[in-house]
Homo-oligomer: A and B are copies of this chain.
Amino acid sequence: MFDQIERGNAVGKREFNAVASELRTSLILTQQELRKADCPVLIIFGGVDGAGKSELAGLLNEWMDPRWIVTRAYGPRTRREKTRPEFWRYWVDIPPKGQIGVYLSAWYSQPLVDRVYGRLKKRRFELDLSRIKEFERCLADDGALILKFWMHLDKGQQKRRLRKLEKQPEQHWKVDEQDWRNWENYDRFIEVAERIIEQTDAPYAPWRLVDGGDARYRSLVVLRTVREAIGDHLARRARPQPAVQPPAAGNGAENGGGAAAYRGPTSRPPLARVDLGASVDKPEYNEKLPNLRRRLNELYRRAKDREMASVLVFEGWDAAGKGGTIRRITAALDARDYRIYPVAAPNDLENSHHYLWRFWQRIPRDGKFAIFDRSWYGRVMVERVEGFASEAEWGRAFREIREFEDQIVGHGTLLMKFWLHIDPDEQARRFQSRAETPYKNWKLTDEDWRNRDRWREYEAAVNEMVTRTSTAAAPWQLVPFNDKRHGRLDVLTRLCEAMERKLG
């Protein structure tokens, strides 16, 4: 693969200076255009040490306005980073729309080095690469431009480069034993790099291989590519997007796959299978609740000792009883160990990022609980039904959510998703009661009535959501809540059972 890189390129000082001024100016203008656009740019430099990765990052910061550039490099995961899923540190760092993220090796560094030195088994290495693909596709689907440059030197070039640095007293510190050890493993590095590039080269995030032998040459190649790619991307986004064809009803394809797919005659949709008749009387409730609380408390303490994190998602119809249920759970936990996240419309900062960004920010560290009162599922419910997300957006969200949750579960975190289910009559009774009770009044808004009018649409969306995001590792828990007492006991029981299974 690397044989095909054109070698021996060099650009003279005079030639460079002749074009530098125009290039700088156009980069600045391009960046100013980008500032107004609703997409971020990620520029990733991978490749051989000494091939100019950090020099290029420096040049981008010098030639463009550094206020709108975020430059990041990542070492081995710190203790704190290890208490969260692997991609957490990359997700929380993604640049907001209109800005540029410049990455040195980024998510490619650990798989490459660890694989070369045998610290990463093949299977895990391949999993890492598919995670990278998922991550980049997720951002690209949301409009991000992803530019990846692989800066190359051949073995002889790299040796000369390291030697030269060593000889200059004031540069000597840039070369250490590890650099020479890496150089000795040059062939292995190239072999692994080829695999990485092959696997992560994609139309939405293509690799560009660049000869890093000459500083002026590589600067011109990279900076021109950056300017042109951003310019093209902005032009493409300015044009009206071709409408995404919704797939034919019933085929359940990933993009689109209308809710009708789940209304077929062969199987009843998930919500229709929930038995809403279940109920528990007050004496039984009063007896069982404290026992469940104690059981949950014991499990919570075991989970804390074992440093197992828990993510609990509560979704459900308006007035189904999310708040009261959450309070029954937190009554068994120490306030230092959980956080409740009520999810409302995103704020400005959240809106300027991928919709999953704000949830990545809230992933709990090991041993802690994060409880979501509504969640990322808004994307395929309210945002879908109310038209806040396009069909392409909510259509691909099923896959994005599965990948997101897969990372949470893969980290060893318990993830439970509860749908609190009631029927329209029960909701009407509760709305009525809210309307009549002064201190409950505030809970009832015009929006609640509007949502109620669209019950069928929401129901179809929920049925599709449940079907398409119930995975083996994180199935939806559909809990009947026409009787709140029964519902709360049910949630607590399911939570305790899941924790018991997970803690062994």
Residue ranges of A at the interface with B (Cβ–Cβ < 8 Å): 21-22, 24-25, 27-28, 32, 54, 57-58, 61-63, 65-67, 71-75, 79-80, 104, 168-173, 290-291, 293-294, 297-298, 301, 323, 327, 330-331, 334-336, 340, 342, 344, 347-349, 373, 437-439, 441-443
Contact B294 A172 (CB under 8 A): yes
Across the A-B interface, give the 9 residue pairs with the lowest CB-CB distance, nearest first.
A170-B290, A24-B439, A73-B335, A67-B342, A25-B438, A25-B439, A73-B336, A348-B348, A170-B294
Contact B439 A67 (CB under 8 A): no
Chain B residues within an 8 Å CB radius of A21: 437-439
Output the nearest chain B residue to A102 by Cβ-Cβ distance.
Answer: B335
Output the nearest chain B residue to A174 by Cβ-Cβ distance.
Answer: B297
Chain B residues within an 8 Å CB radius of A65: 442-443
Roughly how many angstroms separate A373 CA and B331 CA in the complex, as a whole number?
Answer: 46
Q: A75-B336, A173-B298 are in contact. List 7 more A-B contacts (CB 8 A).
A: A57-B335, A58-B331, A72-B335, A169-B294, A170-B290, A170-B294, A173-B294
Q: Which of A62, A293, A335 has the most CB of B within 10 A?
A: A335
Chain B residues within an 8 Å CB radius of A441: 25, 28
Roughly how many angstroms separate A301 CA and B173 CA in the complex, as a whole number?
Answer: 10
Chain B residues within an 8 Å CB radius of A439: 21, 24-25, 27-28, 63
Output the nearest chain B residue to A335 by Cβ-Cβ distance.
Answer: B73
Output the nearest chain B residue to A24 by Cβ-Cβ distance.
Answer: B439
Chain B residues within an 8 Å CB radius of A331: 58
Chain B residues within an 8 Å CB radius of A74: 336
Chain B residues within an 8 Å CB radius of A22: 438
Q: Which of A25, A170, A297, A340 has the most CB of B within 10 A?
A: A170
Contact A58 B327 (CB under 8 A): yes
Query: What is the CB-to-nearest-CB distance from A201 to chain B, in angstroms, rounded to a whole number?
Result: 25
Chain B residues within an 8 Å CB radius of A169: 290-291, 294
Output the nearest chain B residue to A29 by Cβ-Cβ distance.
Answer: B442
Chain B residues within an 8 Å CB radius of A442: 28, 32, 65
Output the nearest chain B residue to A75 by Cβ-Cβ distance.
Answer: B336
A-B contacts, 5 listed (Cβ < 8 Å): A21-B438, A65-B442, A169-B294, A347-B349, A348-B348
Contact A327 B25 (CB under 8 A): no
Contact B67 A344 (CB under 8 A): yes
Chain B residues within an 8 Å CB radius of A334: 73
Chain B residues within an 8 Å CB radius of A72: 335
Roughly how many angstroms separate A294 CA and B170 CA in the complex, as a whole number?
Answer: 5
Chain B residues within an 8 Å CB radius of A25: 438-439, 441
